[in-house]
Chain A
Amino acid sequence: MRNKTIIVIAVVLFFAYVIGGGLITISAHNEYQSQLGRVWNALNTGAEKIQSLQLQVQVPTDLVRDVMTNLSAARNDILAAQQSGDVVAALSAYDRASVELNALTEAYPDLIDLGPLYTTLMDETSGAFNRVSYARDNLIDAQIAYNSTCIYFPLHCERFDGTVDVLGAGSDPSARMNIPPMGQ
């Protein structure tokens, strides 16, 4: 009778672990996937805004010409990374684009004649870039949360090929930081 009770409790606990762990892991993995999707959406919007800027800004100075060339290259890299699904490469290109966007903001006196349409476009582009930063922060949080569930439910995580690489976790702390000119 006592053994039977122990077996029943063990079976109940086992199923609770399997079902509960499955629900928690699936939920954490779904959250990670949805945050990843948001990063891609935000990057896509950012790339579109860069293209709109290219059409609008008619390159009045050498500085602006250089900035627009670099922005264009960064946009192409974002699109290429999108094709290959390499989010780290896409975010790296986005970082370069952010630096160029700040340089464009600094070059405002050269672009003042472009009028309110340019201002609106710059606001939208800055907003799109801020959205990427925010989505990236949320993605890192989701990746850490998912990896934490893998500590308690390793077998469940194997269904999703184990833990994921957390963005920025492998970066070299001694490397020089890429500081935008405006200190943002």
Chain B
Amino acid sequence: MKFKLFSVVVIIILLMTAACQQTPSGNGFVDPVIPILTSSTGWVVDTTATLGVENERNMEALAEEIRTDGFQIGIAIFSNSASEPIQIATEFGNTNQIGSGEIDNGIAVAIFLDKEGASGDKPAIAVAIGSGLEAVLTDGITGRILDATYVPARSSGDWQRGTIELLTGLRDYLNGARGIDEFRTPPPPDQTALIVVVVIAVIIIVILDGIFLKFAIVNFVLELFLSASESTPYGSSGTGFGSSGSSGSSSTRSGGGGSFRGGGSTR
């Protein structure tokens, strides 16, 4: 009798320990591990493997369009969480620093397959908005975009389509909202003019060097390069083939420095 009771207690403890283990997709007792967006994961991370290749490709394409428009969006799909969805979305945004560090124009979306939304349907969704972008994409507007796109699709049982429609709605809004240009990351400056100036300056220096110094500077620079290449051992400056394997060599995706204060919408 005592042994039976002891066994039951041990089993309960083991089950509770297992439930409290942090996993990538999370559960109702423990928050999920916040994923890091990398060039191999793309902008969409599905820790539950339920999204499907086609849907993930479509979401990735929309996220890339949003990035091209001068914003950044990251999407993470989890099973469940102990914390509120908006807290996880905010943490996901802050961990990956989605958006520009100067204007904080990122968007972080977190979906929880086993969590009920406000309407009682699953999965719950939270959209966290970067603290700068909140000036134009307010909680109210985000909520209305969710109500028009994600919520009806979720009610009909197709949350994947709802997520794609949400991304489409956000993309369209970001392209047409008043005052949005202030929060658009400008495209990188054209370096062509600088390169042309540098090349011309080098040519002029070489010509002057040839005329007045009989190529003394050129010879010195060449000698410097030759001696450096002779003394460098093989592999000391090459790209290593470490233990990272196929998944470890990817660079982080965003890292723009964007921050999230916790504003956003949950449905």
Point out residues on A near B: beta carbons under 8 Å.
105, 119, 122-123, 126-128, 130-131, 133-134, 137, 184
Question: Min CB distance, B148 to chain A, in Å?
Answer: 13
Interface footprint category on B = 10 to 19
Subset of 30 A-B contacts with CB under 8 Å:
A122-B140, A123-B138, A123-B141, A126-B138, A126-B139, A126-B140, A127-B134, A127-B135, A127-B136, A127-B138, A127-B179, A128-B135, A130-B131, A130-B134, A130-B135, A130-B138, A130-B263, A131-B135, A133-B134, A133-B261, A134-B104, A134-B131, A134-B132, A134-B134, A134-B135, A137-B131, A137-B261, A184-B139, A184-B262, A184-B263
A-contact 0/1 string along B197-226, CB 8 Å cutoff? 000000000000000000000000000000
Q: Tell me the bound Cα distance from A133 to B179 in angstroms.
A: 17
A-contact 0/1 string along B160-184, CB 8 Å cutoff? 0000000000000000000100000
Point out residues on B near A: beta carbons under 8 Å.
104, 131-132, 134-136, 138-141, 179, 261-263
Question: Min CB distance, B140 to chain A, in Å?
Answer: 5
By a CB distance below 8 angstroms, the chain B residues around A127 are 134-136, 138, 179
Contact between chains at B134 and A123 (CB < 8 Å): no
Question: Min CB distance, A68 to chain B, in Å?
Answer: 19
Question: Min CB distance, B107 to chain A, in Å?
Answer: 14
By a CB distance below 8 angstroms, the chain A residues around B139 are 126, 184
By a CB distance below 8 angstroms, the chain B residues around A105 are 140
Q: Tell me the bound Cα distance from A4 to B138 in angstroms.
A: 65
Q: Tell me the bound Cα distance from A122 to B139 in angstroms.
A: 11
Q: Please give 4 more A-B residue pairs, beta carbons under 8 A apart, in addition to A126-B138, A127-B179, A128-B135.
A: A123-B140, A127-B134, A133-B261, A184-B139
Contact between chains at A119 and B104 (CB < 8 Å): no
Q: Tell me the bound Cα distance from A165 to B263 in angstroms.
A: 28
**Shortest Cβ distance from B264 into A: residue:** A184
